[in-house]
Chains A and B, each alone.
Chain A
Amino acid sequence: MIERLLAPLRNVWENLIERLLFLPPFPESIDSLALFSLLLVVGLLLGEWLHAHFRWPKVIGYVLAGIVFGPSALGWISIEALAQARPIADAALGLLMMEVGRRLDLNWLHRNPELLRSTLADIALSFALIFAFALWLVGLSPAWAAATAAVTMASAPAVVLLTIEESRAQGQVTERIILHTAISSAASFVAFAVVLGIVHAELSEDWLNAVVHPLWVVAGALLVGGLGGWLALVIARALPKQSLAQVFVLVASALLAVGIARMLAVPVFLTLFLMGVLLAARDRRQTLRYTDLPEGHWLLAIVLFVIVGASLPWQEFTWLAGLQALGLLLVRAAAKAAALAWSGGSLPLPKRLLVGVGIQPLSATAVFMAYEIAGLYPEVGRSALALPLFAAAMMELLGPALCRLALSRSGECGAGEKGGIA
């Protein structure tokens, strides 16, 4: 479609090029900066409009912008443009994952056993029920059913962080949503690494890859994440706390880790999550503890969600696939609600259930994980992982609203809600 629109301009340009020697050839692809800007603007416009008119979380608008302008609908964002924008998406996701990793407060689990019970219940029930649903009701093979469970068991760190930021929420429900999200993400990454080996074993019976690939992913992410965190701390120690220079060091170290992870084919989300965890654990002198990411990183996050929206395979949508995805989401919701209700503890049941609602989002990390696994054996992977991708596609639109609902029902949203971009 975009080609048809540009055809007259191309003709004029090619006629002029014969007479105007300085003109370059007609650009065949959009410049990366222009693409970044366009993704940002379309995402912002739709997100702000939906938020202003319907009070929807802005993330929904960004994803919708991606869906509408992406390959599934208008096609203005081509598959090539998506590939071109991937480094920006990786950087945005990486920064958000590092932030979630930094917020993983394992000491809180140590001080409060009820939280350990509820997070373990969430992880175990979510994986087991989704696996059973994918295996027996959808009919996937054990390996792909496990892959589906690994990809969809956790909440969406990026959506949760952005929604909390937008709502300026504070309180026990908010804190527990963050903790559950961080821990279930960690568990899903472990499951993801194991599943890589299982998929190799099932599809190629190549035991070398089945053993070494998960090790490569885990060891590589640990090494690169650890290196990034160490570098950030060493340099930041020489700088004043909370200074702008420290912010730059943090961002630069994170981007370095993103770059190295990409070079080594190690998942960015896992690497940066581990970097955040290690950074927080090793920061005994509180060097970077109070240093927040700059507001500018939210710009990257908008582009991330437009790209995620555009990456969703809506063109392959069938009613059966849609129903199966809906079933998966219901099973997943039941698992999380049951885990929170069963685990008991000092937080009243209605608030625990609100935590269960708040951790429903399923988003960028799941989509990226699904594509990582699908990319191993593209001929079968893409169709085998249609289920988690459609589930993520649906929850991409519903998840932010559910998270917002949980925060507002718990009474933890700040007044005004002017800040944030979610």
Chain B
Amino acid sequence: MSGKGLENFKDSAPLSLGVELELQLVSRRDFDLTRGATDLLGSLDYDGRFGEIKLEITESMIEISTQAQLTVDGIAADLAGLRDTLRRHGERNNIGICGGGTHPFHHWPERRICPGDRFSGLYQRYGYLAKQFTVFGQHIHVGCTSADEAIWLTQALGVHVPAFIALSASSPFVDGVDSFYQSARLNAVSAFPLSGQCPPLNDWPDFCRHFEFLQGCGIAQGIKDLYWDVRPKPEFGTVEIRVCDTPLSIEQAIALAAFAQSLSRWLLRTRPPLHTERQAHVARYNKFQACRYGLDAEISDPVGLCQQPLRQTLAPLLEAISDDASALGCLHWLNPLKNQLAEGAGDAAWLRERFRQQGNLNDVVREASERLMR
């Protein structure tokens, strides 16, 4: 069964992975964002062996996406290949490429919408929000063997959205100032009317009914209109986690993919009770906590009716999924996350420390760009 406008759910290999990274294009002169996506892609001499390199909504961003892979090591190889390709072409065009969820000091009115009907339609629909959407995220696809499994996993991963936000947070600076957030990027996403959480749903038919309801109300025409934190992606046969900031390094992006794969396996294996109705009441609050405080967030537990420090719940979770990570062959990729948790030094802290050392954000972006490309 599929809702009108929804494709049939295409089953995929269990726990297969795909990673998308939105990256910043910066001028090598002053490290502000620059308009270069169309020219960069136009001059691309690349056969697509590691995945795709695509335009994003504004000319100062590009998106890279890996091939579907069964292992995290496969994702690592693709991302390294894509990075090397971008490094080569960026150098030819004198364009720097940088990670991070926001550009620390760019001036959003200077952004230019990329050519194309889809982007033009988004600009017409959302106005200035489309330009302010020049923020940079990592999306992780996890393969599901059935549509019902995808809906269940969408709900189950929703509980762990704060962990993904806190581990990937790399957007403390906006408009040249410290936002006090660890991830300020998601505030730009929150402005869109269909952002937020997937509502409580039981199975795929339930999701189709919900989607038809949205269609009937004239709110959504396709799955791409739903800017949910975690959403099913029927045409890929995956669940897509969309809340991560683009990290400052490829290695951190790979570690997050390993976390997503291991966590999904653990969830599907242990099938913990979900309490989706209750979770729906605290999801926005918990997301805010993770954005604002990162690993120091206090997460509301709607079942135990208490708050728990994210750091305290995340450490046992990483231990709990270790067996699954071993089975998937990606345990070593969880080490950067364990170290991050122990040392409390994520990408947002690194950016703040570099700003404290350098005293200006241009040098911070220069160093961040070097970090992504090394």
Partner-B contacts on A (CB < 8 A):
103, 105, 108, 111-112, 114, 168, 170-172, 175, 240-242, 286, 289-290, 346-348, 351, 412, 414-415
The answer to whether A286 and B366 have CB atoms under 8 Å apart is yes
Pick from B35, B94, B360, B363: contact of A105, CB under 8 Å: B94
Q: Is B36 positioned at the interface, with any CB of A under 8 Å from its CB?
A: yes
The answer to whether B92 and A171 have CB atoms under 8 Å apart is no
Pick from B92, B110, B362: contact of A346, CB under 8 Å: B92
The answer to whether A112 and B35 have CB atoms under 8 Å apart is no
| Residue among A103, A105, A112, A172 facing the most chain B CB atoms (10 A cut-off) | A172
Docked Cα-Cα span, A289 to B31, in Å, equals 10
Docked Cα-Cα span, A286 to B91, in Å, equals 20
The answer to whether B112 and A346 have CB atoms under 8 Å apart is no
Known contacts A289-B30, A348-B42, A412-B35; is-contact A172 B93 (Cβ 8 Å): yes
Docked Cα-Cα span, A348 to B28, in Å, equals 22
CB distance from A108 to the nearest CB of B (A): 5
Known contacts A242-B360, A290-B360, A346-B45; is-contact A175 B30 (Cβ 8 Å): no
Q: Which residues from A are CB-within-8-Å of B110?
A: 168, 414
Docked Cα-Cα span, A415 to B111, in Å, equals 9
Q: Is B359 positioned at the interface, with any CB of A under 8 Å from its CB?
A: yes
Nearest A residue (CB) for B42: A348
Q: Is B34 positioned at the interface, with any CB of A under 8 Å from its CB?
A: yes
Total A-B pairs, Cβ < 8 A: 60
Known contacts A111-B91, A172-B93, A415-B112; is-contact A240 B359 (Cβ 8 Å): yes
Docked Cα-Cα span, A346 to B358, in Å, equals 36
The answer to whether B94 and A241 have CB atoms under 8 Å apart is no
Nearest A residue (CB) for B110: A414
Docked Cα-Cα span, A237 to B341, in Å, equals 38
The answer to whether B34 and A112 have CB atoms under 8 Å apart is no
Known contacts A289-B30, A290-B30; is-contact A171 B94 (Cβ 8 Å): no
Pick from B39, B45, B358, B366: contact of A171, CB under 8 Å: B39
Q: Is B124 positioned at the interface, with any CB of A under 8 Å from its CB?
A: no
CB distance from B59 to the nearest CB of A (A): 8
Docked Cα-Cα span, A108 to B30, in Å, equals 15
Q: Which residues from B are CB-within-8-Å of A111?
A: 91-92, 94
CB-CB contacts below 8 Å: B15-45 with A:
27-31, 34-36, 39, 42-43, 45
Q: Which residues from B are CB-within-8-Å of A241?
A: 358-360, 363
The answer to whether B43 and A346 have CB atoms under 8 Å apart is yes
The answer to whether B30 and A112 have CB atoms under 8 Å apart is no
Interface size class of B (residues with CB under 8 A): 20 to 34
The 8 residue pairs across chains A and B that have the minimum distance between CB atoms: A346-B43, A172-B39, A111-B91, A290-B362, A170-B35, A108-B94, A241-B360, A112-B92
| Residue among A175, A351, A412, A414 facing the most chain B CB atoms (10 A cut-off) | A175
Nearest B residue (CB) for A351: B39
The answer to whether B94 and A112 have CB atoms under 8 Å apart is yes
Q: Which residues from A are CB-within-8-Å of B29?
A: 103, 105, 289
The answer to whether B362 and A105 have CB atoms under 8 Å apart is no
Q: Which residues from A are CB-within-8-Å of B366?
A: 286
CB-CB contacts below 8 Å: B325-374 with A:
358-360, 362-363, 366
Q: Which residues from A are CB-within-8-Å of B363?
A: 241, 286, 290
CB distance from B373 to the nearest CB of A (A): 13
CB distance from B32 to the nearest CB of A (A): 9
The answer to whether A171 and B362 have CB atoms under 8 Å apart is no
Docked Cα-Cα span, A114 to B42, in Å, equals 16
Nearest B residue (CB) for A173: B39
| Residue among B29, B39, B112, B366 facing the most chain A CB atoms (10 A cut-off) | B39
Nearest A residue (CB) for B131: A415
Docked Cα-Cα span, A168 to B358, in Å, equals 28
Provide a sorted-by-A list of 19 A–B residue pairs whose CB atoms are within 8 angstroms: A105-B28, A111-B92, A112-B91, A170-B27, A170-B34, A171-B36, A172-B36, A172-B43, A172-B93, A175-B94, A241-B360, A286-B362, A289-B30, A290-B30, A346-B43, A346-B45, A346-B93, A414-B110, A415-B112
Q: Which residues from B are CB-within-8-Å of A290?
A: 30-31, 360, 362-363
CB distance from B334 to the nearest CB of A (A): 37
Q: Which residues from B are CB-within-8-Å of A114?
A: 92
Nearest A residue (CB) for B27: A170
The answer to whether B112 and A347 have CB atoms under 8 Å apart is no
Docked Cα-Cα span, A286 to B358, in Å, equals 10
CB distance from A118 to the nearest CB of B (A): 13
The answer to whether A347 and B91 have CB atoms under 8 Å apart is no
The answer to whether B30 and A347 have CB atoms under 8 Å apart is no
Docked Cα-Cα span, A171 to B360, in Å, equals 25
Q: Which residues from A are CB-within-8-Å of B31?
A: 290
Nearest A residue (CB) for B43: A346
| Residue among B94, B110, B363 facing the most chain A CB atoms (10 A cut-off) | B94
CB distance from B110 to the nearest CB of A (A): 6
The answer to whether B359 and A347 have CB atoms under 8 Å apart is no
Q: Which residues from B are CB-within-8-Å of A240?
A: 359
Q: Which residues from A are CB-within-8-Å of B43?
A: 172, 346-347
Q: Which residues from A are CB-within-8-Å of B93?
A: 112, 172, 346
CB distance from A272 to the nearest CB of B (A): 19
Docked Cα-Cα span, A346 to B94, in Å, equals 13
Given contacts A172-B39, A347-B39, 5 further A-B contacts (CB under 8 A): A170-B27, A286-B363, A290-B31, A346-B89, A415-B109
How does the 8 Å CB contact mask read for B193-229 relative to A, with 1 for contact and 0 for none? 0000000000000000000000000000000000000
Q: Which residues from B are CB-within-8-Å of A286?
A: 362-363, 366
CB distance from A19 to the nearest CB of B (A): 62
CB distance from B151 to the nearest CB of A (A): 43
Q: Which residues from A are CB-within-8-Å of B358?
A: 241
Nearest B residue (CB) for A103: B29
Docked Cα-Cα span, A31 to B206, in Å, equals 84
Pick from A108, A289, A412: contact of B362, CB under 8 Å: A289
Nearest B residue (CB) for A346: B43
Docked Cα-Cα span, A415 to B109, in Å, equals 9
